[in-house]
């Protein structure tokens, strides 16, 4: 009689797994049957993953401490690593200069250096559209980086270090540059959750300039791009990919669309919130590279994505009331 050997689950390490984007990936990879490990901080808030916390393995490690990171990576030997941990994107509440530099740059350097000492299948660094700065046309991965804030500067530096290490040591590293991501478990003080909640509760809606623009990408499309990158990693090592829809949308257009989908008659109060940075007149991702090399394109336009997000919000609005 021949005993079948139990197939070992692939081990994935996710940083920033308690945040908006990272937590969505935690749910996805659990569903796919991976052995999911999270690198977390002692002060991490677990409300987003409370229902699955016992299904993942937590590692309390300071990314800014190279010795701690090295020790964890050598012991764990993850096959896939998704790096979402970041600080400073939300400038209204994240203004610590040292923490921005240490988290986004030093933490990334420590993680990549530790990984360079082991064999792994794929590391995806999550960059940002903030790396580009102000442009007068849809942004391409080959554009000169001219960030207008410290967050963008540190994310750009992280991108450069990842690309450098990938090329120097032939490491399976790829860089994703998502534009404005929205979807399930988003922070309650981000634009789309603010508008949805206001429409549902009929409360006052204070916003910034109605003509500010963003390229909104639904979280499910972002996950799909990462899954494709993992499968194709051998062919795309060292590459950078924009993730967006290629279409910019004004704040006013977002509000009107949410109002339509929620059947709300609320009237927003514009120019009541001061901008935190220079605002572009054009904000759209050129996603031709992702289409060609990843065979990826977004499945959701803004209305389709908002429908799913609003349906989820209806069922989970209590989370925002208790977290």
CB 161 within 8 A of CB 109: yes
Where is 71: in which H helix or E strand? helix 66-76
Confidence of residue 311 (pLDDT cuts 50, 70, 90): very high
Three-class secondary structure assignment of 148-212:
CCHHHHHHHHHHHHHHHHHHHHCCCEEEEEECEEECCCCCCCCHHHHHHHHHHHCCCCECCCCCC
Taking residues 83-89, what's their average pLDDT? 94
Query: How far is it, in rounded angstroms, from Cα 153 to Cα 135?
Result: 16
Cα 263 to chain centroid, rounded: 30
Taking residues 267-272, what's their average pLDDT? 95
Angle at 104 between CA 103 and CA 107, to 5 degrees: 55
Q: What is the mean pLDDT of the chain?
A: 94
pTM of the model: 0.95
Cα 207 to chain centroid, rounded: 23
Does residue 92 register a pLDDT over 90? no
The percent of residues in the chain predicted with pLDDT above 70, rounded, is 95
Does residue 2 register a pLDDT over 70? no
pLDDT tens sequence across 96-140: 999 999 999 999 999 999 999 999 999 999 999 999 999 999 999
Give pLDDT, residue 52.
Answer: 97
Confidence of residue 90 (pLDDT cuts 50, 70, 90): confident
Confidence of residue 3 (pLDDT cuts 50, 70, 90): very low
Confidence of residue 1 (pLDDT cuts 50, 70, 90): very low
CB 100 within 8 A of CB 93: no
Best CA proximity match to 263, nearest among 189, 314, 206: 314
pLDDT tens sequence across 43-75: 999 999 999 999 999 999 999 999 999 999 999
Give pLDDT, residue 274.
Answer: 86
Taking residues 141-169, what's their average pLDDT? 97
Point out the least confidently predicted range of 20-24, 153-157, 277-281, 287-291.
277-281
């Amino acid at each position: 009689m021949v005993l079948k050997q139990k197939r070992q689950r692939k081990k994935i390490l996710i940083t920033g797994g308690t945040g908006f984007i990272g937590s969505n990936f935690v749910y996805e990879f659990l569903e796919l049957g991976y052995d999911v490990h999270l690198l977390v901080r002692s002060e991490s808030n677990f409300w987003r993953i409370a229902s699955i916390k016992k299904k993942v393995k937590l590692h309390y490690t300071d990314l800014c401490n190279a010795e701690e990171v090295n020790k964890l990576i050598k012991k764990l030997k993850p096959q896939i690593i998704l790096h979402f941990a970041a600080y400073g994107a939300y400038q209204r509440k994240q203004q610590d200069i040292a923490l921005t530099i240490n988290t986004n740059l030093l933490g990334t350097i420590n993680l990549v250096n530790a990984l360079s000492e082991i064999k792994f299948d794929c590391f995806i660094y999550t960059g940002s559209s903030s790396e580009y700065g102000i442009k007068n046309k849809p942004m391409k991965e080959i554009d000169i980086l001219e960030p207008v804030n410290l967050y963008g500067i540190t994310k750009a530096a992280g991108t450069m270090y990842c690309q450098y290490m990938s090329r120097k040591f032939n490491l399976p590293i790829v860089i994703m540059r998502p534009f404005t991501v929205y979807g399930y478990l988003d922070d309650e003080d981000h634009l789309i959750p603010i508008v949805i909640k206001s429409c549902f509760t009929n409360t006052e809606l204070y916003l910034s300039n109605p003509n500010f623009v963003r390229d909104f990408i639904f979280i499910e499309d972002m996950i799909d791009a990462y899954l494709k990158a993992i499968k194709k990693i051998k062919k795309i090592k060292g590459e950078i990919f924009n993730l967006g829809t290629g279409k910019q949308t004004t704040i006013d257009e977002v509000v009107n669309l949410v109002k339509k989908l929620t059947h709300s008659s609320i009237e927003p109060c514009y120019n009541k919130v001061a901008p935190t940075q220079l605002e572009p007149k054009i904000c759209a991702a050129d996603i031709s590279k992702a289409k060609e090399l990843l065979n990826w394109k977004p499945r959701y336009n803004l209305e389709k994505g908002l429908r799913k997000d609003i349906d989820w919000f209806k069922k989970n609005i209590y989370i925002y009331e208790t977290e």
